Amino acid sequence: MSDFQEISYDNPVDGDISVPIQQPEDDLDELSTLDEPVRVTFMRDFKAIGSKFVHVVYPKKDKTLLRDWDLWGPLILCCLMAIFLQGQATDEKTGEGGPQFAEVFVVIWVGAAVVTLNSQLLGGEISFFQSVCVLGYCMFPLVASLIFSWLIVHFISQNIGLFIVRFIAVFLAYGWSIFASVAFLGDSQPPNRKALAVYPICLFYLSLAWMIVTLT
């Protein structure tokens, strides 16, 4: 049986064996929202929706509206617009009247989907639902002008002066909706195609503004 020989190495063998540390149960409880009360979940989501409305009122170079997207805010604004517009009386002679709830609902969601698809075809770098989220939240100025117009129509006698006031309010809201949406969606489009992406957005909000102006 041969003798053992001692082998020496020029470079010592180094290593580090790290043992994973188990995360404390307190941290796991903070990350989990399954066991929290419904009231806490509702208030957290409500604050998130409110912060997105603030971003629309004061558009900044902030990606919160794109990163933490949701469709709750657009759904609320869509329902409010449909409710306030469907109350228009129908003309007994012509049978014509204002849009109904379903018509407004379809115009908003189909219009937002078409604008989003156009953005995608032009090479937009955001997802479908991110774009729909921004377009929906940016309806907030128009919905505010709708409520203002509805109050004037139902509680103040109609005259040309008040119509001009309503028209100016809706026009300003229309411009602000476009400005806010472009502030969030503009950087997602190729520089040489921004005009092609902004044009459908203007038409989308113009259709909503026209329905508000024609409120009688």
The separation between CA 82 and the C-alpha centre of its own chain, rounded to angstroms, equals: 17
Rounded-to-integer distance, Cα 131 and Cα 117, Å: 9
Average pLDDT over residues 194-209: 90
Alpha helices, DSSP H only, in the chain? 25-31, 38-57, 64-67, 72-85, 101-121, 128-137, 140-155, 160-185, 194-213
pLDDT the model gives residue 95: 47
Asked if pLDDT for residue 214 goes beyond 80, the answer is yes
Q: How many CA atoms lie within 13 A of 126 on its CB side?
A: 25
Q: What is the pLDDT of residues 56-98, one digit of tens each?
A: 888 876 666 677 788 899 999 999 999 998 755 454 454 455 5
- Contact between 122 and 197 under an 8 Å Cβ cutoff? The reply is yes
Average pLDDT over residues 32-43: 75
Buried b (16+ CB within 10 A) or exposed e, 30-67: eeeeeeeeeeeeeeeeeeeeeebeebbeebeeeeebbe
pLDDT the model gives residue 34: 67
- Contact between 177 and 139 under an 8 Å Cβ cutoff? The reply is yes
Rounded-to-integer distance, Cα 38 and Cα 166, Å: 41
Q: Give the angle subtended at the CA of 158 by the CAs of 152 and 163, to the nearest 5°.
A: 70
